[in-house]
Chains A and B, each alone.
Chain A
Amino acid sequence: MHGTDSDGIITTGTTTVGLVGADGVVLAADSRASLGGRFVTNRTARKVVPVDDRTALTFAGSVGDAQSFVRRLRAELALYDMDHEPGASVDTAATVAADLIRRDGTPQLELVLGGVAPESTVYQIDPAGGVMDAPIAASGSGMQLAYGYLEDAYDPEQSVAELRAVAAMAVRNATERDTASGDGMTVATITADELEREQYDGIERAVSAATSQPTDSEVAR
């Protein structure tokens, strides 16, 4: 989401994506924070954040709304995990997130929430608390550009190792034309075994790191 020009709220202009793969979920986002997409206020913002053991989200919109929201979501999920065995599923996390958003009265937030708990799942959550699951999701001012790439490049049979490259390319392509997105990238890979997050200083650095990582087939060899 993009801030209105007059409100002076720092927003994350932003392109974020979430992809469901054969063995997990990949979330990625650029790292630019800006005033209405016209002045870059921060170039190393991390917009992909873990909220539970195997669940993370990306946010686009007001930085203040996002930070406050993430703190509260983490607290709610920690309390849930305390007396539920196993802990919160991605489905539950999405429901709690949407409920927090509704109780807040439409904050400026577009979320992509994904994880492997227990199934690989990605949800798109809108500022009115709407929750929709989808194999691919994108949010932020660059989302049309990201979707354009994903519609062509995404294959649900791919492994997370391969999808990291797809996610990085989707964000890269959006930063080429969306002035509110750019600078660097955060890529999170979630499998049943781990939640791993990498931060890159430059867009191209992220793309080359993501594309050079070995795919499953290479590992098998």
Chain B
Amino acid sequence: MGPRILLVDDEQEFVQTLAERLQMRDMETSAVFDGPAALAQVQSHPPQILIVDLKMPGMDGIQILKQVKQTHPGIQIIILTGHGSEQDKILCMHLGAFAYFQKPVDIDRLITAIRQGYETILSNEQKTAPCDRYPETGSWQP
């Protein structure tokens, strides 16, 4: 079983299609369309990989990145945006993002990053007990 992924983007057509493509590659993927929904899902059903757009109405990607890194530092966050500048990239990487992609993204590069993020999680899990690290994840076992 692949990693659990949460996609956050206000472009509904985009996230749904991307989610479908990731699912076809054996990744458990769900999609939400705004920041609050994403945070709620992170609370209720935390993913391992979070893919976030930067520019969204209401809550933007940077805020989501900050909040999720505070509450769930173990989640690997990938930024996927059409609006990124070099400063945004530096800021996101500084805030703890795992990777940063500019749209349009090549699916293979995205998947490579997802796998790398997943492997990082797995190697972290081996060092720490999963239940200590992710108390909310409940029954999930790597």
Task: Please indicate whether A and B come from the same complex rather than being unrelated chains.
Answer: no
Chain A interface residues toward B at CB < 8 A = none
